[in-house]
């Protein structure tokens, strides 16, 4: 039998935030079994903890969505670190081996923060008409006041688009046919996932849709918040921090704290922080 715990991440309140299943000792499981387990939980991600490949690090963590393994994600990194700290498996400072490389994590008082120095990557801009169709909206709701739609990544790629106002964000609803239609044009090996947002200074309200990953809407997406933060650091040309509110419109409010360090106009480090709370534990009978 294999132990697991379930945490709600980017919240300090049970049944808010983004649920995460953590398989606390995945030795003996192969990738195919991990994928089946992740599909069984059917959360946006599940993590599988293994001994580190480098003994100087704390643990190796594999991350699976219901449909595929991914190299990096925010709420799994935060939630797994807090789970391991609660279990007494790590100290306040740890280094987790992810698919993008080692990620330093700090855990304190039910919250965790990680830093990534994976460079910001951007690809060709998806047309505003594609973004609007994907959220069942008219093209005019996609704002070009600060930037047009862009695909950005600091480990996992997302289409990112600013909307005109909070009402447009609240009205967004997925059109999976539009996602499928644009998928052949997606420039990476991962699926077409879309983050839409509105910004008021350092406050961001966001929603993230990933129906081709089996995630109609995600209540909190640290990797997307990290990509957005790094992109805005590059766009504004300065270091800054944000509070990203997500999940409100689907009834699972989440808060993601992010920051970016910019040197000579280039983002060099992105940080993501948040709380997590345990809501379940049990054993898989395999």
Q: Helix (H) and strand (E) counts for the chain? A: 6, 17
Percentages of the chain per state (helix, strand, coil), in multiples of 5? 25, 40, 35
- Distance, in Å, from the CA atom of 156 to the CA atom of 100, rounded to the nearest integer, reads 9
Q: Provide φ and ψ at 89, rounded to 5°.
A: -90, -20
Q: Are the C-beta atoms of 49 and 77 separated by less than 8 Å?
A: no
Question: What does DSSP say about strands 93-98 and 59-64: parallel, antiparallel, or unpaired?
Answer: parallel
Which residue(s) pair with 196 in the sheet?
Answer: 161, 207
- Distance, in Å, from the CA atom of 120 to the CA atom of 131, rounded to the nearest integer, reads 21
Residue 45 annotated in active site:
yes
Q: Are the C-beta atoms of 75 and 18 separated by less than 8 Å?
A: yes
- Record the tokens describing residue 163, joined without a space: 């909307």
Tell me the three state secondary structure of residue 203: strand
Q: Annotated catalytic residue: which of 40, 45, 129, 261?
A: 45
Q: Are the C-beta atoms of 224 and 185 separated by less than 8 Å?
A: no
Active site residues: 45
């Amino acid at each position: 039998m294999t132990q697991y715990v379930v945490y709600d991440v980017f919240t300090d309140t049970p049944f808010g935030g983004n649920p995460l299943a953590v398989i606390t000792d995945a030795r003996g499981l192969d990738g195919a079994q991990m994928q089946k387990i992740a599909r069984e939980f059917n959360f946006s991600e599940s993590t599988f903890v293994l001994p580190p490949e480098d003994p100087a690090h704390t643990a190796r963590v594999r991350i699976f969505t219901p449909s595929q393994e991914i190299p990096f994600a925010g709420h799994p990194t935060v939630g797994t670190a807090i789970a391991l700290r609660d279990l007494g498996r790590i100290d306040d400072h740890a280094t987790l081996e992810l698919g993008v490389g080692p990620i330093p994590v700090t855990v304190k008082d039910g919250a965790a923060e990680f830093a990534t120095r994976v460079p910001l990557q951007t690809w060709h801009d998806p047309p505003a008409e594609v973004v609007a169709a994907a959220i069942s909206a008219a093209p005019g709701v996609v704002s070009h006041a600060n930037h047009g739609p862009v695909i950005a990544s600091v480990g996992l790629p997302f289409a990112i688009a600013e909307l005109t106002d909070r009402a447009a964000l609240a009205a967004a609803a997925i059109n999976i046919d539009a996602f499928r239609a644009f998928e052949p044009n997606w420039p990476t090996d991962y699926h077409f996932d879309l983050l839409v947002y509105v910004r008021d200074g350092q406050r961001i309200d966001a929603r993230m849709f990933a129906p081709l990953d089996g995630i109609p809407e995600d209540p909190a997406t640290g990797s997307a918040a990290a990509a957005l933060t790094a992109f805005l650091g590059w766009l504004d040309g300065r270091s800054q921090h944000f509070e990203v509110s997500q999940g409100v419109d689907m009834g699972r409010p989440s808060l993601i704290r992010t920051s970016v360090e910019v040197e000579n106009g280039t983002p060099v480090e992105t940080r993501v922080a948040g709380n997590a709370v345990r809501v379940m534990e049990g054993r898989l009978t395999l």
